[in-house]
Amino acid sequence: MSTTYTIRIAGLPLDENWSGLTIAPNHDGTSTLTGEIRDQAELHAVLARLHESGATLMELHSAALSPVLAGPLRTARLTLRPAVADDATAIWAYRRLDSVDQWLTGIPSDPDVFRAMFADPARLARTIVVEHGSGARATVVGDLMLRREDGWSQLGMADEARGSQAELGWVLDPAHQGHGYATEAVRELIRYAFDDLGLRRLVANAFHDNDASVRVMERVGMRREVHMVRDSLHRSGRWMDSVAYGLLDDEWRAGHGSVGESR
Ligand SMILES: CC(C)(COP(=O)(O)OP(=O)(O)OC[C@H]1O[C@@H](n2cnc3c(N)ncnc32)[C@H](O)[C@@H]1OP(=O)(O)O)[C@@H](O)C(=O)NCCC(=O)NCCS
């Protein structure tokens, strides 16, 4: 998936063809290049070209590298806080369990490899840790994801669609499942996404057979948008159905206080 980058350089690049990046001169003599960059390889290629053209890099910013959550959020029983690299050990301990891993993309069996993956700034930025209790008695019960992405748009509308939606994800330690913690945490994340981040659409995906996750989606008021038939290859070797759920800010506001409040 591509990521939107903002690159500020001294001066104005002479070459006008920056494969899709828009270039805007600033009043202070710097220029800002903005646009979608597919992956690290493409980013390095852009930075190398800028360097070769004699441009001085002043600032490199990606929304994907800024934590989606600036500070903690609290619910009746839980705290949602930005993940830090040290959370990797607690998270690996439950994500490696078969009952959890069976529904996820997968996890390395070596905790050190996981720790290195988890410390990737882009991953940390979109990961939110869910804790029960506070202070020294706080226990990590699960983790959430809020990955901001661009809405689809026609040519010329990309600026308005940029960063307008997000994909949500959730995982609970089995030791803490069955108490409504996922639903409580996801409800707060949805409120944060719409009220504080100003997003207009949230999406979530799951294997169709992942009943517990589908129930979370429906409890928080998300609407099933897609049921894909045998589109996803599970590591059991079976091609499984998958489902996609969505929720628009106006739907959430209209139903706030009623939609998704029942267990
Ligand atoms: C998906 C997942 C987070 C759901 O966890 P969960 O504990 O079932 O969900 P909640 O925390 O919202 O708890 C809801 C359950 O607790 C029960 N519950 C008990 N006490 C409750 C309370 N005080 N308040 C609300 N619900 C309560 C609810 O009845 C509900 O049970 P039900 O689904 O059998 O009806 C969990 O199964 C998981 O981590 N799975 C593995 C990873 C995964 O699949 N992630 C999603 C990938 S798409």
CATH 3.40.630.30 range(s) for the chain read 73-259
Angle at 85 between CA 81 and CA 150, to 5 degrees: 65
Please tell me the distance from the alpha carbon of residue 152 to that of residue 163, in angstroms, as a whole number: 10
10-24, 135-149, 156-170, 190-204: lowest mean pLDDT where?
A: 10-24
Question: Rounded to the nearest 10 degrees, how much is the dihedral formed by the CA atoms of 199, 117, 137, 215?
Answer: 50
pLDDT above 50 (res 260): no
183 lines ligand 1 (CB under 6 A): yes
For a ligand 1 pocket test, name from 215, 219, 226 the mutation site with the most ligand atoms within 8 angstroms of its C-beta.
Answer: 215
Amino acid letter, 139: T
Q: Which atom of ligand 1 is nearest to the CA of 210?
A: 44
Please tell me the distance from the alpha carbon of residue 109 to that of residue 39, in angstroms, as a whole number: 25
Q: The tokens of 39 are what? A: 């992956």
Class of domain 3-62: alpha beta
pLDDT at 55: 85
Please tell me the distance from the alpha carbon of residue 102 to that of residue 235, in angstroms, as a whole number: 8
Topology classification of domain 73-259: Aminopeptidase (3.40.630)
pLDDT per position as a tens digit, 139-184 = 999 999 999 998 999 888 888 898 999 999 999 999 999 999 999 9
pLDDT per position as a tens digit, 112-129 = 999 999 998 889 999 999
pLDDT above 60 (res 263): no
174 lines ligand 1 (CB under 6 A): no
Please tell me the distance from the alpha carbon of residue 127 to that of residue 147, in angstroms, as a whole number: 8
pLDDT above 50 (res 23): yes
242 lines ligand 1 (CB under 6 A): no
179 lines ligand 1 (CB under 6 A): yes
Percent of the chain surpassing pLDDT 90: 65
CATH 3.30.70 range(s) for the chain read 3-62
| Mean model confidence pLDDT for the chain | 91
125 lines ligand 1 (CB under 6 A): no
pLDDT per position as a tens digit, 25-84 = 888 888 888 888 888 888 888 888 888 888 889 888 887 778 999 999 999 999 999 999
pLDDT at 1: 59
pLDDT above 50 (res 87): yes
